[in-house]
Structure 1
């Protein structure tokens, strides 16, 4: 589930797992211009460089605006408790902790964790995963038909389109790259033009498919107009980017790079690509932007409450062993990123141990070697993808009672 921080300068992150809806009345029209800055206040004179005294969004430099998050499809093995029991148990124990997402851990036949399996990004190749209750592989083939598996009804039309329904969850794939997911709480849609959206309660993300997008979380609002300009506001802090190298922080001029365009969404998976894979535990993904300041491995004071809640939940799960693994984006040198990933993983493991978690954790840093989203798209920087890559993962093997 997508979980968002709600601090004084709440940061909308992509840790939230998102699904996309197809066509019709849900179609996004155009980025909202209500808050668009009229013009740069420094038409002829460059603005002064930002100073350390200026306020900033948590995890960012003064004047920087967080990216509109990528829209992410939930792992379809999470749709029913019978499909990934341990992961669902962990998810229920963890609850709605800001910056933490739970997905099943996928393993090969030998039990080794399959790198890169987990949350399905609605971005790229349109791949998908689905775990049958007994771990068996269901071959959809190219034919059409309907079958029921442990109360789950699947209809395949043979052209890539089809439907899936179980326990209040519905998935519709139109076979042309568009589709809809709805579980009564989270609603996601994706269109053939690269646009789509996600919503859950008062949180929402809209990608207009033209380089612009909007994300909101209660009072917090991020707008990217697709032309280098944008704005951030959380009721306390207001940041504007005029797209010409200048911007303001609460009205104070700053120099800031124009915003990259929001990448188009990839295809919604066709029914033929939703195939069962084994599940052997749970992966908890922690958004590094919630836990740490930029380039730092020191846990932010306002993140300690979330980690304390996570420690309490994990102590109840009582997993005997697991691993804490740090990851970074590709900014800075590979050597720096490797050290940073190791230090961040160690910081999280130590905090959980102090919080009463008895799990014997291996601590590993992968640096920039295992991205879950592109750091660049078509040679252009992809801040939302980099944000997903900056993470700490806790891998717990399945616990049998």
Structure 2
């Protein structure tokens, strides 16, 4: 089914698409007419007067995208947000599996256990280290529990999924309920289907009422004969005035499926330290790599704070906006990173720190908007980051 990109995720779900099959009208068996104790009809009579039980359609199990749509909102929300007025900010650092810094702003809060909380224009996200959590966006509400159960709500419908595979869906394709044990029901434009999970079931819809029992017997009301009764023992009757015939027992209904577990959230990296970001206005004159004299007080406070972090590795990272050539910006970012390392070493810290320039390759804001210069965005991109690994 579709859930808005399920269309929460299907907290999403719930956000990817699934479509129900149209109820088929194929047959499950062919009745062989013959009168009990009377002469058997010939083959021509069977072809002309025979009838077919329509097959009861299987109950759809929609594809779940789980946290997918909300995950995208979560990733979009984790763009670096730096205050150009204050000129300095601190955020948690996330690292990829190779230990490298993930270039994005952190959640509002990351605790020691790796539980993340983020509040922004994209929504509210509370994600545990095991991938379970809650996301509330303008499109989805996604709740994923540690056992894969949860709830997804959006404009396309609502999913309630339990760990045992049972659950419900209510949306554009109707109402689907699964018990996780092979039974379930589906009510939609085509009518209603019941699967009892033991081989029996019922479909009431465009073909009339078709019932299949676990012992191979069944009944069809509304077909070409008006009514057909299958006893499940090789005999049955057809017609409003019952006519005895031979009938093969009806095959059992296959079990209904189960709802799959919901996809969990994927936190972007693991907490690995913090990043101090300094606007270039705090440290440098325009297009210069020499630390300004009036930046000394900021560096004194910063050095004192960094000196209280024991056993940490540190990388000073220079960044520029996109004005000028790539080579020029790369060189400027490297010289600025080296200047900050030197200033911190003069203050007794960062003795083992490395310095690296990234030029204009890692912007945190657009340098242009609709083809026009974006001074505010460029200001955010001109920065020095101090990545402290803890």
The TM-score with structure 2 as length reference comes to 0.41
Larger radius of gyration between Structure 1 and Structure 2:
2
The TM-score with structure 1 as length reference comes to 0.40
